[in-house]
Structure 1
Amino acid sequence: MITGIDHFVLTVRSVEATCAFYQRVLGFKRVDAPNLPTALFFGTQKINVHEAGHTFEPKARAPTPGSADFCLVAARPLSEICASLAGNGVAVEVGPVERIGARGPMMSVYFRDPDGNLVEVSEYGP
């Protein structure tokens, strides 16, 4: 019935700070369009970025900066992700560690974005 995730929404304190972080650290592409939320694109997915107090309808019942916890699948080796994190002064909280994802075993690292959201980036084995 469901085949995947198209997008999800992050409620943040600052659209500018959040977009700058994801563009710099993970290479996301920012898109701003009239009457639409700012979006961060990666692969064939996107994150809509809503600033707290200035969200689009409909929305979560209690959108709160720093309440997200999500996993992204890396297109490059996890070692490159770790190097980008280190080069940008982003501390890895956990990892690399083995986890089980939707497609099976994977290696993951965990870090936080400017709002304290927990971001997991994972690499599936060959």
Structure 2
Amino acid sequence: MIRGIDHIVLTVRDIDAACAFYARVLGVEVVAFAGTRRALQIGGQKINLQTLGQETRNHAAIGCGDVCLLTDQSPEQVLAHLAAQGVPVTEGPVAKTGARGPITSIYFNDPDGNLIEIARYDPPHGPAA
């Protein structure tokens, strides 16, 4: 019945500040939809942003999000980039398990406290084919 994830939603205090943070730190494209709504476009998926109380059908809270985003960069490259952007790392690199197998993850919080995980699938081991 389900074949993928289209979008998720993060609740933030200030949508302008959140858009600026994600564009600067992660290089994601900020897009508008449904008039004045904004989202972070990541490939074929997006993260919609909302303020507290904007959506009455859920039980959203600021800073309760936990998102894993994939990268092709090495953990060392991610750490260097986050350091250059002044973003403190809360954990990592650390071995975890993603939807398709082993990943190496680095964790940090966005300005609203949402937990952001940047992960790379571990390269296969053994001789090159």
Residue matched to 1:86 = 83
Tell whether the 8 Å contact from 1:110 to 1:118 is kept in structure 2 after alignment.
yes
- The normalised TM-score by structure 2 is 0.87
Structure 1 unaligned residues grouped into runs of 5+: none
Structure 2 unaligned residues grouped into runs of 5+: 124-129
- Alignment-mate amino acid for residue 76 of structure 1: Q
Structure 1 residue 37, shift from structure 2 partner: 1.8
State the SS of the aligned residue for 1:11. Answer: strand
CA distance in 1, matches of 2:9, 2:36: 12
CA distance in 2, matches of 1:33, 1:103: 31
Residue matched to 2:126 = none
- The normalised TM-score by structure 1 is 0.89
- Alignment-mate amino acid for residue 100 of structure 2: R
Q: Is 2:15 aligned against 1:18?
A: no
Residue matched to 1:63 = 60
State the SS of the aligned residue for 2:89. Answer: coil
State the SS of the aligned residue for 1:25. Answer: helix
Judge which range, 84-93 or 68-77, deviates more. Answer: 68-77
Paired residues, number: 123
Residue matched to 1:28 = 28
> How many percent identity over aligned positions?
48
Q: Is 2:116 aligned against 1:119?
A: yes
Looking at CA atoms only, which structure, 1 or 2, has the larger radius of gyration?
A: 2
Question: Structure 1's 25 and 51: CA in aligned 2 closer, same or farther, altered over 3 A?
Answer: same
State the SS of the aligned residue for 1:32. Answer: strand
User: Where do 4+ consecutive residues of structure 1 move more than 3 Å?
Assistant: none
